[in-house]
Structure 1
Amino acid sequence: MIHSALGLVCLLVLAWLLGEKRPWPLSRLPWRMVLGGLGLQFLIAGFVLKVPALKALFMGLNALVQAAETATRAGTAFVFGFVGGGPAPFAVSNPSAGFSLAFQALPLVIVIAALSALLFHWGILQRVVRLFSLLLEKTMGLGGALGVGAAGCIFLGMIESPLLIRPYLAVMTRSELFALMATGLSCIAGTMLMLYAAVLAPVIPDALGHILAASIIHAPAALLVASVMLPEDAAPTLGREMPKSAAANSVDALCRGTWEGLQLFWNIVAMLIVFVALVKLANLGLALMPDVAGAPLTLERALGAALAPVAWLIGVPWAEAHTAGALIGTKIILNEFLAFMDMAALPPEALSAHSRLILTYAMCSFANFGSVGILIAGLGTLCPERRSEITAMSLRALAAGVIASLMTGTVVGILGSM
């Protein structure tokens, strides 16, 4: 608990050091944002981890994952047969070898995208976003436009959420735009929630509740970090109008959502192929070097050594810090999906249940180099007049997203040891 608290302080100091503006003396820091952000993180995490009724509510969401997986598997089995999870027309000697990530697990993204589009058309998703935006506005003093955009990141993702406030993007302050970028990189899209939960279910009890809680907690964490790195020095941008769906009816919304989900599906497939190939190429190159500590040097070992102190600071015991550091490195350099898959594949003795829980929160974000390119392309298209400004702030926004997600892991580490 003590070194987790130290980690929280170190992350805040790191955010201040990496900032575009460094308020000094410290009395000039936006303390309402800092204290409000920390308070929300501990409050939400405390509810999820310590309050039985609310914990049961969050964890009960896992029934939705199972229902969505079952429904998706029915569709993939019908379309792809045994490759999609249907009965095999022959005797199976090794059932685990019959699993296909592309044809059995990833199609869940398409189903969730279609359902999200339907909920957006019915106006349900907008109401949920507005509820969370009001919470952020009241506790942290945000303007309405940033409050809506930040709350949207929890459910919609870093490109879809700015659509909620597209008319305000051109007039938002530089600090608000940076905070929106940082929040987008620190959260995940609702279309990915169930996919990540399905991957982590074998090693994290009630995985969906934790994944959802992580995405919610990351929003105030990112706003806190963004306020330290680039404090506001202008009046906040108002604006609370929520957009309506462009779909003509519910069927049209489902069709639009399915098409968007299909594009996301192929994007994930392509990125996984390339990223796994790049890791293999890097390891093949490193294998040409002399052994280190009696074993071949690999990218995973190098990342583990470099980021082991970071893993220790967020609450992972030192004996497990190298393993955790490698996972954090995979998440930052490649993506969180590969990191979650790697963690799920580890033997039980490699990481304790407490360490796995900390890493689930710390790695549950889009803060990686690939997402920076997506963010620049998406926001630059929505607001072309500020493309150069968006590009200039992108790497600092990535740092803010990484620090925010690690901060949430630290908060969980503190509460989990109490």
Structure 2
Amino acid sequence: MGIILGLLAILIVLAIAYVMSNNRKKINYVGIGIMLVAQLLTTWFMFMTPIGEAIINWISNVFNKLIEFGSEGVSFVLGGIATEDGANVFFFNVLLIIIFFSTILSVLTYLKILPTIIKYLGGLISKITGLPKVESFNAVNSMFFGQSEALIAIKSQFHHLNDNRLYIVSASAMGSVSASIIGAYLQMLPAQYVLVAIPLNMFSALIIASIIAPVEVDKKDDVVDVKDASGANSFFEAMGNGALDGGKIALIVASMLIAFIASLNLVNWAVQGIFAGVTLQQIIGYVFAPIGVLMGIAPGEVIDAGGIMGLKIITNEFVAMLELQAIMGEFSEKTVGIVTVFLTSFANFSSIGIIAGTVQGIDSKKGAKVSSFGLKLLIGATLGSILSATMAGLFL
């Protein structure tokens, strides 16, 4: 029964995207079918085979070792700081690890290792699915870099992007996560679900965006230039740039968490003043309950789980992950997996401004266009998160 409900959820997601489509006659059904199969095979391989489980465990161990190294750096600088009750300080123990991961990412970029992987993996996806190279490259690039960085990497191709192509690259940026903050995610939620969510969300973003904004591209307008995006002239400059960028990201995330969590408590105080014992999360949970049940979440858990998923959309993934971490023990393993996959992306209201602002800096006219379809972008990215989470739920 669970598989039937999951397949129904996938059909509903695809149907909503079809209704939103700008040009249904140009939808690449073959490419979409290939990507759906790729999602099924990826999830099956990672969850259901010994080799897949071994790969996830190996990647998880690598990240855990890197987190240990990063913690040594944090401890050297802040080891003398302690709270009176010995509480775990989220900023010190989670967010500052981003600095080390950002440094590694910058060095791998300077050494041409990441750009080469991204170029050929993007080219493979383009060849298999029939999608344009720029869109495929951007989707893979978005798995490693943040929203702004991924879009800046293709700025030389922006003059080739019409409205539909602009939607697809923006959707890939919103449906992704940055490798520099995965270490922070792994300290809050189960590694296997976070790691599986990364490729699933890449495919989901392309699937939904290709339905909503189908494209046909001439070969002369579909060329990808891969250059050193680190902006560094030496190995040590790359390290320095990565560290500074990571520090900025950590401070930005910390600032957003302070604002969003404080605002959430303010809203809950106001809601409870009107409806005693009711929270914003519970209200959102009832809204998400129908699709949550179809995704595979148990009826007894769907209100709390739906509230966390909705919270991610109106705030950000960190706020929602902290909520999930606090009550994870009350959920079944399947619900934890589904919700974790859903949360592992940048699909939220604040991302509209980040993406529009980045594009505005590259091309003012295209920046205005992104702002005009911002809500459609968020709906599409949310559909992508639902698709990924449902795919995971089929094998849990």
TM range (shorter): over 0.9
Which residue pairs with 1:117 in the alignment? 106
* Contact 2:132–2:217 under 8 Å retained in 1: no
Residues of 2 paired with 1:159 and 1:38: CA distance? 27
Return the match for 2:35 from 14, 34, 37: 37
Q: CA deviation at 1:143?
A: 1.7
Equivalent positions of 1:26-175 (< 5 A) are 29-83=27-81, 97-175=86-164
| In the alignment, structure 1 residue 287 sits paired with structure 2 residue 272 | yes
Residues of 1 paired with 2:67 and 2:249: CA distance? 18
Which residue pairs with 2:296 in the alignment? 315
| In the alignment, structure 1 residue 263 sits paired with structure 2 residue 252 | no
Which residue pairs with 1:332 in the alignment? 313
**TM-aligned CA distance change 1:261 to 1:172, over 3 Å:** same
Q: CA deviation at 1:65?
A: 2.4
**TM-aligned CA distance change 1:325 to 1:50, over 3 Å:** same
Q: CA deviation at 1:98?
A: 2.3
Deviations 1:82-123 (A, max 9, x none): 437xxx9xxx8x5xx421111221111111111100000001
Letter in 2 for 1:231: P
Q: Report which stretch shifted further, 379-388 or 105-114.
A: 379-388
Return the match for 2:347 from 367, 372, 379: 367
Residues of 2 paired with 1:199 and 1:303: CA distance? 22
Residues of 2 paired with 1:393 and 1:235: CA distance? 24
Which residue pairs with 2:24 in the alignment? 23
Q: What's the secondary structure of 1:319's corresponding residue?
A: coil
Q: CA deviation at 1:347?
A: 5.2
Return the match for 1:238 from 216, 222, 237: 222
| In the alignment, structure 1 residue 298 sits paired with structure 2 residue 269 | no
Return the match for 2:356 from 353, 363, 376: 376
Q: Name the TM-score, length of structure 2 as normaliser.
A: 0.94
Q: CA deviation at 1:384?
A: 2.3
Q: After the TM superposition, which segments of 4 or more aligned residues of structure 1 sit over 4 Å from their partners?
A: none
| In the alignment, structure 1 residue 399 sits paired with structure 2 residue 379 | yes
Q: What's the secondary structure of 2:224's corresponding residue?
A: coil
Q: CA deviation at 1:233?
A: 4.6
Q: CA deviation at 1:37?
A: 1.9
What are the ranges of 5 or more consecutive residues in structure 1 without an aligned counterpart? none
* Contact 2:328–2:336 under 8 Å retained in 1: no
Q: CA deviation at 1:22?
A: 5.2
Identical amino acids, percent of aligned pairs: 22
Residues of 2 paired with 1:172 and 1:32: CA distance? 22
**TM-aligned CA distance change 1:33 to 1:175, over 3 Å:** farther
What are the ranges of 5 or more consecutive residues in structure 2 without an aligned counterpart? none
Q: CA deviation at 1:334?
A: 0.7
| In the alignment, structure 1 residue 225 sits paired with structure 2 residue 208 | yes
Return the match for 1:210 from 190, 193, 210: 193
* Contact 1:363–1:406 under 8 Å retained in 2: no
Letter in 2 for 1:47: F
* Contact 2:313–2:349 under 8 Å retained in 1: yes
Letter in 1 for 2:222: L
Q: What's the secondary structure of 2:231's corresponding residue?
A: coil
Letter in 2 for 1:211: V
Query: What's the C-alpha RMSD, in Å, of the aligned pairs?
Result: 1.7
Residues of 1 paired with 2:208 and 2:178: CA distance? 20
Q: What's the secondary structure of 2:148's corresponding residue?
A: coil
Q: CA deviation at 1:194?
A: 1.1
Q: CA deviation at 1:222?
A: 1.0
Q: CA deviation at 1:138?
A: 1.8
Letter in 2 for 1:324: A
Letter in 2 for 1:225: I
* Contact 1:178–1:397 under 8 Å retained in 2: yes
Q: CA deviation at 1:270?
A: 0.4
Q: CA deviation at 1:212?
A: 2.7
Q: Report which stretch shifted further, 251-260 or 354-363.
A: 354-363
* Contact 1:330–1:339 under 8 Å retained in 2: yes
Q: What's the secondary structure of 1:415's corresponding residue?
A: coil
